[in-house]
Amino acid sequence: MRTILYILQKEFIQIFRNKTMLPMIFMVPLIQMLILVFAATYDLKNVDIFLVDKNLSETSRELVSHFEGSPFFNIYDASFDLAKAENSLKSDDADLIMLIPENFESDLIRDDEVGLQLLVNAIDGNKAQLIFSYVQGILSSYNKKVIAEWKGLAEFNPPLQIKAKISYWFNSELDYKWYMAPGILAILVTIIGMFLCGMNLVREKEIGTIEQLNVTPIQKYQFIVGKLIPFLVIALFDLAFGLLLAKIAFNLPIAGSLALLFGFGTLYLVGVLGLGLFISTVADTQQQVMFVSFFFMMIFILMGGIFTPVDSMPDWAQTLDRVNPIYYFMKIMRNVVMKGSGFTDLIEEFVSLIVIGLVFLSLSIWRYRKTS
């Protein structure tokens, strides 16, 4: 035990003496969180419409003004020239082309029904679908209004309707920042912990000081634990600062217990730091450590459900996620922070994280060789 304390003392001295790294460890991640959280939103704000109105009737104008009145849509340009319209789609100036056919008004009167052509840039499928559903919303309210007016009614109600009342729980304003802040914080904490820890160990290999340690009676577990704890502490500090900052800057509600969150955080970090250490016991250079850790990081992050929902992934990927520590931590962060989930809600995650932590930690202790 005393030996571990001496190792810890040494590591902390070295970390706090490095004046280039210190700000990077504490400041950079927090600044990143503050900035990047704003970036992560699927909220559609401005859909640019290129209008080709071949009808130019009162009805068509009214329809267009209906779109203009919506906060989502914006008539970017109007012309009869279809080629020009298509160019605007190509150059990304417009998101969709709205084509009102020549006989729009007369067809509507005669057939009671008319088509409105919409050409949507669908490279981002999600966005295209959202645009479509907004268009539908506007059309249906317009339809009702027109019917009421033409039939001289105060309000038109279709013969059958299901009234859906939608409520959004835990985040009634649909604030993206609340969703992204815990996620980005989890990534940053992971990067800091896993990379610093792994590179620190392999650096001793590169400089050669590890030989000096290997001729001492130091035990393998003492060495690994001594290397792990400093970065665990730093990462937990980053987590605490980050949460505080998110609370102040984004008014992030922290519904659950902080003790629970940090308990899980510790468990999680032991796992990823153990992985970082394991990689560095196998590698010879910092470059290798970095690249391999980077590989795992990318997979963990992108499969962890931070940016895209895990439920949308193919089944095999969801099965693979069972060994992805970020997947669990992500879930824990969001559930505890936003919904106030308690320990009993997260037993599965608890057990999984313990298993992952034990496996990676034992792997790194096993693989660390005092004798080559």
Partner 1 sequence: MKRFFGFVKKEFYHIFRDVRTMLILFGIPIAQLLLFGTVIKNDIKDAEIAIYDQSKDEVTQEITAKLLSSGYFILDRNLESINDIEAIFKKGKVKEVIVFESNFGRLLEKEGKANVQIIADASDPNMGKLLANYTTGILNDYITKKMGEMKVPLQIKPEVRMFYNEELESVYLFVPGIMAMILMLISAMMTSISITREKELGTMEILLVSPLKPVQIILGKVAPYLGLSIINAFVIILIGNLVFGVPIVGSTILLMAETILFIMMALCLGIMISTAAKTQMVAMFISLIALMLPTILLSGFIFPVENMPMALQWLSSIMPPRWFIVILKNIMLKGTGLLYVWKETLILLAMTSVFTIVAVKKFKTRLE
Partner 2 sequence: MKDELLKTETVTETNNKVIQVKNLVKKFGSFVANKSLTFDVYRGEIFGFLGANGAGKTTAMRILCGLSSPTSGEITVGGYDIYKETEKIKKNIGYMSQKFSLYEDMTVSENIRFYGGIYGLSISKRKEREAEMLAKLKMDEVKNKLISSLPLGWKQKLAFSVAMLHDPQIVFLDEPTGGVDPVTRRQFWDLIYEAAANGKTIFVTTHYMDEAEYCDRVTIMVDGRIDALDTPDKLKKQFNAQNMDEVFLKLARGVS
Show contacts with partner 1 in window 285-304 (CB under 8 A).
285-288, 290-292, 294-295, 298-299, 301-303
What are the contacts of 360-363 at 24+ separation with CB within 8 A?
A: 360/270, 360/271, 360/272, 360/274, 360/275, 360/277, 360/278, 361/224, 361/228, 361/270, 361/271, 361/274, 361/277, 363/274, 363/278
Cβ-Cβ contacts under 8 Å for 225 (sequence gap 6 or more): 4
Give CA–CA dist 15/24, Å, rounded. 11
Position among 7, 98, 225, 356 found at the interface with partner 2 (CB under 8 A): 7
Residue 28 binds partner 1 (CB under 8 A): yes
The Cβ of residue 207 has, within 10 Å, a number of other Cβ atoms equal to 9
Work out how close the CB of 10 gets to partner 1 at its nearest, in angstroms, rounded to a whole number: 17
Q: What tokens does 15 get?
A: 């970390």
Work out how close the CB of 222 gets to partner 2 at its nearest, in angstroms, rounded to a whole number: 8
By a kind-dependent CB cut-off of 5 to 8 A, residue 5 interacts, out of partner 1, partner 2, none, with partner 2
Give CA–CA dist 117/209, Å, rounded. 71
Span interacting with partner 2, options 60-68, 202-210, 277-285, 309-317, rule CB under 8 A: 202-210
Give CA–CA dist 274/227, Å, rounded. 10
Per CB under 8 A, contacts with partner 1 among 30-49 are 32, 35-36, 38-46
- Considering the complex, state which of residue 6 and residue 137 has its C-beta at the smaller distance from partner 1: 137
By a kind-dependent CB cut-off of 5 to 8 A, residue 312 interacts, out of partner 1, partner 2, none, with partner 1
Work out how close the CB of 265 gets to partner 1 at its nearest, in angstroms, rounded to a whole number: 17
Residue 16 binds partner 1 (CB under 8 A): no
Give CA–CA dist 259/245, Å, rounded. 18
Residue 334 binds partner 1 (CB under 8 A): yes
Q: What tokens does 91 get?
A: 């150059």
- Considering the complex, state which of residue 61 and residue 205 has its C-beta at the smaller distance from partner 2: 205
Position among 1, 83, 164, 207 found at the interface with partner 2 (CB under 8 A): 207
